Amino acid sequence: MRSGVARQHARQPGIGEAFDSAFERHEAVAAIEGECAGMIERAAMHPHPLGILTPADRQSLRHQPAAMALARQFGHETEKADFGLAGPYTGQMKAVLRREAPQTEIIDLFADAPAGNPRASAYLLAAYAEWFPPGTIFLCVVDPGVGGQRAPLMVEADRRWFVGPENGLFELVLRRAQNTRCYEIAWQPPKLSASFHGRDLFAPVAAMLARAERPPARARMPNRHSDWPDELSEIVYIDHYGNAMTGLRGSAVPQGATLILGDKTRVIHAATFSAVPEGGVFWYENSNGLVEVAVNRGRAADQLHLVIGSTLTIET
């Protein structure tokens, strides 16, 4: 039934022939999925999930396809109206995804991306997207310009789909991909709020892709941010433990290098936490390939007064 829907929409105007092959792949996957008898078979043969799940769900979904959402935006009502997990926003996006694509597996990777900061989020997205299989659909909402003139985008990069605003969020994904296609979303819901496009626009479009349907769109080259460096010497995320991730890939920093923080604190390299004494400050390449500043059995962000945007230099 789902593949029939895909065929029905196969020649909508305004998409372009280049878009067809991607949806033919999705259509084939959807047809195969209907023949699979169990969850593991579906996971292996239907690798185009999207969205948002709590960390507690990951164990039960370890054999299923994965996806992610970056969810942060500014609203018009207050200066900040970020999603996070504490308020209703993530739940409302999940409700749309469940309603519009009920057979799609949903994973939440970042519900606490840097608030209103597409630049920092772009480096996180590029690093974490590499862990997901081709066909994954990323619902990405870091949208300080919500309701304004920025365009809504669908981007295909190395056979992964990204849905979100045109504000640089996909800059590093595009820069590092071998093959890319970009489209401006031409679809709008009957009712589009001024401050929650994640729920009203981007989530429904991501669900269309998950159903192997063709969202109305037109080819578009997004605005690029050539002034953003390939490696960002700034803190882009602080995790639950107080570890401070940077926008630097570990492969770009020699292991013998010393990081110098803005207050002139010198941070040496160590391969593991146990390689330094308790309370020791060090940097290491984390499990996702980013340079991270940490304190053994301590909170680096608190001890070193680090926040999103704190700068550092590399001394070799």
Same domain as 277, residue 208: no
Range of lowest pLDDT (19-33, 88-102, 115-129, 255-269): 19-33
Q: Let me know whether 251 and 284 are in one domain.
A: yes
Write down the pLDDT at residue 126: 96
Mean pLDDT of all residues in the chain? Answer: 79
The arithmetic mean of pLDDT across residues 8-13, rounded, is 36
Q: What is the mean pLDDT of residues 159-166?
A: 95
Is 86 inside a domain boundary?
yes
* Domain shared by 95 and 209, yes or no: yes
pTM, two decimal places: 0.77
Torsion of CA 65, 200, 116, 159, to 10 degrees: 30
pLDDT bucket at 266, cuts 50 / 70 / 90 = very high
Q: Which of 184, 219, 254 is the last residue of a domain?
A: 219
User: What CATH number has the domain bearing residue 59?
Assistant: 3.40.50.10790
Q: Which residues of 53-62 are buried (b: 16+ CB within 10 A; e: fewer)?
A: beeeeeeebe
Per-residue pLDDT for 278 more than 60? yes
**Are 39 and 125 contained in the same domain?**
yes
Angle ∠(193,199,205) on CA atoms, nearest 5: 110
Quote the domain boundaries for residue 251.
Answer: 232-315
Confidence of residue 287 (pLDDT cuts 50, 70, 90): very high
Type of residue found at 127 = A
Higher pLDDT, residue 124 or 53: 124
Q: What is the pLDDT of residue 60?
A: 33
pLDDT band with cut points at 50, 70 and 90 for residue 105: confident
pLDDT per position as a tens digit, 74-88? 221 112 224 667 788
Report, as an integer, the average pLDDT of 254-264: 94
**Pair (20, 41) in one structural domain:** yes
Q: Which of 219, 243, 272 is the last residue of a domain?
A: 219
Number of domains present in the structure of the chain: 2
* Residue 226 located in a structural domain: no
Per-residue pLDDT at 12 = 38
Residues 6+ apart with CB under 8 A from 296: 273, 274, 276, 277, 278, 279, 280, 282
**Which pLDDT score, from 0 to 100, does residue 311 have?**
97
Give the pLDDT confidence score for residue 116 in this predicted structure: 92
Task: Tell me, yes or no, whether 249 and 181 share the same domain.
Answer: no
Q: What's the pLDDT at 81?
A: 27
Per residue in 98-131, is it b (16+ CB within 10 Å) or e — as a string?
eebbeebbbbbbbbbbbbbbbbbbbbbbbbbbee
Q: Given a cut of 90, is residue 128 above it in pLDDT?
A: yes
Q: What is the pLDDT of residue 238?
A: 97
pLDDT tens digits, 37-51: 333 333 333 333 333
> Average pLDDT in the 200-229 region?
95
**Residue 193: pLDDT above 70?**
yes
Same domain, 176 and 108: yes
Specify the amino acid at residue 135.
Answer: G
* Same domain, yes or no: 177 and 237: no
By CB neighbour count within 10 A (0-12 exposed, 13-18 middle, 19+ buried), where does 245 fall?
buried
Do 104 and 249 reside in the same domain of the chain?
no
**Rounded distance between C-alpha atoms, residue 146 and residue 256, angstroms:** 43
Residues 32 and 90 in one domain: yes
Quote the percentage of the chain above a pLDDT of 70: 73
Indicate whether 306 pLDDT > 80.
Answer: yes
Examine the domain organization and report whether 27 and 146 are in the same domain.
yes
Give the count of beta carbons closer than 10 Å to the beta carbon of residue 51: 31
Residue 270's domain is classified under what CATH number? 2.40.30.90
Question: Is the model's pLDDT at 68 over the cut of 90?
Answer: no
- Is residue 215 located within the same domain as residue 246? no
Which among 194, 219, 244 is the end of a domain? 219
Helix axis angle for 89-100 and 203-210, nearest 10°, is: 30
